[in-house]
């Protein structure tokens, strides 16, 4: 069974991104072993810091995963700073980091009508720059996401079915 690291891009416990991450982990039970990263524990990126235990743990999580699923909200037409910070920590050394050739899948959420499509495009661009292997599929963008969350979980059945139809082949490709 493949090991998947899910990386939500929001710190807010009640966010649609975290709800989507929880729902994906639940839906993938029996098909993949999912762990969720806590990017809020990481310090601000600073190359002078070389021995932070939270950074080491996050880099180890990425390295141990067969694949990574990012669930990012869209902040000001891009990815949240906390997500970019986590990626920056794990992107070293340049072109030889744990992200090199790492299979990745990107999901985006937004309270607006576009579902975070701009953040998704930016995140894919960032991942390509680190030589990660971004899985080619229909984009899973969850528009008006806040209205699709109840009790900490994504509840819109059509959205969940669509997401799983795209993520399923990604999971299958890992093992």
Position 31 scores a pLDDT of: 97
Report d(CA 40, CA 96) in Å as an integer: 24
Structural domains in the chain plus CATH codes: 3-173 (3.40.50.360)
How buried is 69 (Cβ within 10 angstroms: 0-12 exposed, 13-18 middle, 19+ buried)?
Answer: buried
126-167 pLDDT, tens per residue?
999 999 999 999 999 999 999 999 999 999 999 999 999 999
> At residue 161, what are phi and psi to the nearest 5 degrees?
-60, -45
Radius of gyration (Cα) for the chain, nearest Å? 15
pLDDT digits (tens, 9 = 90+) for 35-83: 999 999 999 999 999 999 999 999 999 999 999 999 999 999 999 999 9
175: confidence class by pLDDT, cuts 50, 70, 90: confident
Q: Is-above-0.95 flag for pTM?
A: yes
């Amino acid at each position: 069974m493949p090991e998947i690291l899910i990386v939500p891009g929001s710190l807010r416990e009640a966010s649609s991104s975290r709800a989507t991450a929880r729902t994906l982990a639940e839906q993938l039970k029996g098909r993949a072993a999912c762990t969720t990263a806590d990017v809020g524990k990481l310090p601000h990126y600073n190359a002078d810091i070389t021995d932070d235990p939270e950074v080491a743990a996050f880099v180890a999580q990425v390295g141990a995963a067969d694949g990574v699923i990012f669930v990012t909200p869209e902040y000001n037409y891009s990815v949240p700073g906390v997500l970019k910070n986590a990626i920056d920590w794990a992107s070293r050394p340049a072109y030889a980091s744990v992200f090199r050739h790492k299979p990745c899948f990107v999901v985006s959420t937004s309270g607006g009508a576009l579902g975070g499509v701009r953040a998704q495009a930016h995140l894919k661009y960032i991942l390509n720059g680190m030589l990660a292997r971004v899985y080619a599929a229909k984009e899973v963008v969850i528009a008006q996401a806040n209205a699709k969350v109840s009790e900490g979980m994504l509840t819109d059945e059509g959205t969940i079915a669509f997401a799983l139809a795209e993520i399923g082949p990604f999971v299958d490709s890992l093992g």
